[in-house]
Amino acid sequence: MHERESWGSNFGFLMAAIGSAVGLGNVWGFPYKMGIGGGFAFLITYLLLVLFCGCVVMFVEMTIGRKTGKSPIRAFLEIGTFKKLGWFGAICGFLILAFYSWIGGCCIKYLFTYISELCGGAGFGGMSGLDYFVQFGSNPASGIFYLGLFMLLTLLVVQGGISKGIEKFNVVGMPALLVLMVILIIKNLSLPGASAGLAFMFTWPTEGFNFFNTLRMAGGQMLFSLSLGMGCMLTYGSYLSKKESIPKNAFIIPFADTLMALLAGLMVIPAVFAFGLDPQGGPLLLFYTMKEVFAAMGSAGAIFGIMFFLLLIVAALTSAMSLLEVVTSCAIDVRAGKGKSANRRPIACCCALAIFILGIPVAIDGAGISGLMPQFTFLADGSESWLDLYDTIAEGLLMPLGSVLMCLVVSRKLGFDWVNEEVTACGQKWLAEGFYRVSIKYITPVLMSFVLVSLFLSYFGI
Ligand code: PHE
């Protein structure tokens, strides 16, 4: 019989949950979405959404998870409303990890390239960041190789089990990434022309601002970055000890994640302007830009490049592990529920293999660069690649929908007494109770519904 493990300590839980939240979404996703989504307008919308939706959905997921002690699939079956909601999580996990692993693979590729630069090898071969990526993106074999490599790394860590595998990884990598990013920010802000980037980030846009577009991008990015709406935090909550405070954790995690996203914005956007790149450059913005940043550092650049991509890979792995964990724990609970053997290792391997296969079109497509795959022109504002397709289905559709439905499950079906009982199980009062009640009932579902409506509007070009 499969037994549920639990976290070694609240610190371990926090580090793992922050580890899940902080990843490529912050460092790769946030700056480029801010670039497309309207700079300051995006930032303000994002921050409001973190407060009124992020913290709230985090709270809801953790409460459902801890109270039921189950994976998303079994939790919603047990609750008996929106019984299939758990499957959203599994589908989302599959889709996200498929493209996430390719981006993670790009980071590994860059790491190897910087190592080769340092050792006097071919390195970037004198190419610009843009040209180098075009070359990489047009090589499907290389894309598939690095996708597989990242997936394999993820699998290796997940095989260690919950507390052993995940906790250890986070404690060192995350603070180190933070310190490195601060150093890079200081460096980038001193570049000539960087102030235009600051103006883009912190002054109200005058042209090209589209409310629905900004809302859609910020809403999706917020859920993606906080790992919400697909049962990830629900799964983590199911391993959380009853002694710990849910409202406290549901505030600390979004706070830390948003801090990292802001730092990533400050690291990338001013540099984009300083090097005359296009802030609307799309999903590969991080790669083009950081290449120029490190090149401008002279001989120290390769060392910084190695450190940066190494730590980014660690951050990406801790997120990828949580994605694989959702998928795996769903599969385990389904099998255990049917009375079949539920051995973690083979199940995790099968899931990883399926995700790898799903990621192959993304790798061949190379974010639309290779021209080898059909594109999806029906997606909004220039998002056309396979990566965009998976991303739009997951963070544009399934995650906001999952968030709305989870809030409805709590406010309509389970009720606030049910929540209160779980939240006060730690012996403390329910902190900010009024805020959570009003948000769960009204504010969050309404705002998230707007995010969904924005997706449909942008589909019709509005
Ligand atoms: N939040 C992660 C990141 O920012 C990605 C993620 C999404 C992880 C959903 C788990 C679940 O990189």
pLDDT at 207: 64
Please give the number of the atom of ligand 1 that sits closest to the Cα of 92.
Answer: 9
Pocket test residue of 20, 103, 225, 321 for ligand 1, highest count of atoms within 8 A of CB: 20
254-264 average pLDDT score: 96
d(C-alpha 232, C-alpha 77), whole Å: 17
Residue nearest to atom 10 of ligand 1 (CA): 227
Pocket test residue of 91, 174, 222, 319 for ligand 1, highest count of atoms within 8 A of CB: 319
User: Does pLDDT of 398 surpass 80?
Assistant: yes
d(C-alpha 289, C-alpha 27), whole Å: 12
Cα separations in angstroms, 407 against 144, 196, 350, 433: 38, 40, 32, 15
User: Does pLDDT of 459 surpass 80?
Assistant: no
421-446 average pLDDT score: 92
User: Does pLDDT of 235 surpass 50?
Assistant: yes
CB 377 within 8 A of CB 206: no
Pocket test residue of 50, 177, 322, 330 for ligand 1, highest count of atoms within 8 A of CB: 322
Which amino acid makes up residue 289?
A: T
Residue nearest to atom 7 of ligand 1 (CA): 227
Residue nearest to atom 11 of ligand 1 (CA): 227
Torsion region of 429: left, alpha or beta (phi above 0 gives left; psi -120 to 50 gives alpha): beta
Instruction: Print the SS3 string covering the chain.
Output: CCCCCCCCCHHHHHHHHHHHHCCHHHHHHHHHHHHHHCCHHHHHHHHHHHHHHHHHHHHHHHHHHHHHCCCHHHHHHHHCCCCCHHHHHHHHHHHHHHHHHHHHHHHHHHHHHHHHHHCCCCCCCCCCHHHHHHHHHCCHHHHHHHHHHHHHHHHHHHCCCHHHHHHHHHHHHHHHHHHHHHHHHHHHHCCCCHHHHHHHHHCCCCCCCCHHHHHHHHHHHHHHHCCCCCCHHHHHHHCCCCCCCHHHHHHHHHHHHHHHHHHHHHHHHHHHHHCCCCCCCCCCHHHHHHHHHHHCCHHHHHHHHHHHHHHHHHHHHHHHHHHHHHHHHHHHHHHHHCCCCCCHHHHHHHHHHHHHHHHHHHHHHCCCCCCCCCCCCCCCCCCCCHHHHHHHHHHHHHHHHHHHHHHHHHHHHHHHHHHHHHHHHHCCCCCCHHHHHHHHHHHHHHHHHHHHHHHHHHHCCC
pLDDT digit string (tens) for 362-396? Answer: 999 998 888 899 888 766 555 689 999 999 899 99
User: Does pLDDT of 3 surpass 50?
Assistant: no
d(C-alpha 289, C-alpha 133), whole Å: 11
With vertex at residue 54, the alpha carbon angle to CA 282 and CA 78, rounded to the nearest 5 degrees, is 115
CB 223 within 8 A of CB 403: yes
Higher pLDDT, 188 or 460: 188
d(C-alpha 400, C-alpha 49), whole Å: 12
**Binding-site residues, ligand 1, Cβ < 6 A:** 20-21, 23-26, 96, 224-225, 227, 230, 232, 319, 322-323
d(C-alpha 440, C-alpha 419), whole Å: 11
- What is the Å distance from ligand 1's center to 25 Cα? 6
Please give the number of the atom of ligand 1 that sits closest to the Cα of 319.
Answer: 8
User: Does pLDDT of 162 surpass 80?
Assistant: no
- What is the Å distance from ligand 1's center to 126 Cα? 34
pLDDT band, very low/low/confident/very high, at 146 (cuts 50, 70, 90):
very high
d(C-alpha 115, C-alpha 108), whole Å: 11
Please give the number of the atom of ligand 1 that sits closest to the Cα of 226.
Answer: 1
pLDDT at 94: 94
Cα separations in angstroms, 155 against 163, 231, 397, 404: 15, 19, 27, 31
47-72 average pLDDT score: 94
Max mean pLDDT among 165-174, 204-213, 329-338 falls in 329-338
- What is the Å distance from ligand 1's center to 288 Cα? 22
CB 413 within 8 A of CB 405: no
d(C-alpha 395, C-alpha 397), whole Å: 6
The predicted model scores a pTM of: 0.93
Pocket test residue of 226, 323, 328, 330 for ligand 1, highest count of atoms within 8 A of CB: 323
User: Does pLDDT of 224 surpass 90?
Assistant: yes
CB 86 within 8 A of CB 231: yes
Higher pLDDT, 290 or 336: 290
Please give the number of the atom of ligand 1 that sits closest to the Cα of 257.
Answer: 4
User: Does pLDDT of 222 surpass 70?
Assistant: yes
Least confident range from 57-71, 104-118, 324-338, 421-435: namely: 324-338
Pocket test residue of 46, 62, 96, 107 for ligand 1, highest count of atoms within 8 A of CB: 96
d(C-alpha 34, C-alpha 272), whole Å: 12
- What is the Å distance from ligand 1's center to 225 Cα? 5
User: Does pLDDT of 353 surpass 90?
Assistant: yes
Higher pLDDT, 317 or 207: 317
pLDDT at 387: 93
Other beta carbons within 10 angstroms of residue 205's beta carbon come to 14
Residue nearest to atom 6 of ligand 1 (CA): 227
- What is the Å distance from ligand 1's center to 158 Cα? 15
d(C-alpha 295, C-alpha 3), whole Å: 51
In the chain, pLDDT over 70 holds for what percent of residues? 93
pLDDT at 77: 87
- What is the Å distance from ligand 1's center to 387 Cα? 15
User: Does pLDDT of 83 surpass 50?
Assistant: yes
- What is the Å distance from ligand 1's center to 319 Cα? 5
- What is the Å distance from ligand 1's center to 313 Cα? 13
146-171 average pLDDT score: 76
User: Does pLDDT of 170 surpass 80?
Assistant: no
Counting other chains too, the contacts that 348-353 makes at CB distance below 8 Å and 24 or more residues apart are 348/155, 348/158, 348/159, 348/324, 349/155, 351/324, 351/327, 352/151, 352/152, 352/154, 352/155, 352/324
Please give the number of the atom of ligand 1 that sits closest to the Cα of 323.
Answer: 10
- What is the Å distance from ligand 1's center to 310 Cα? 18
Residue nearest to atom 9 of ligand 1 (CA): 227
Please give the number of the atom of ligand 1 that sits closest to the Cα of 23.
Answer: 12
pLDDT band, very low/low/confident/very high, at 7 (cuts 50, 70, 90):
low
d(C-alpha 450, C-alpha 209), whole Å: 17
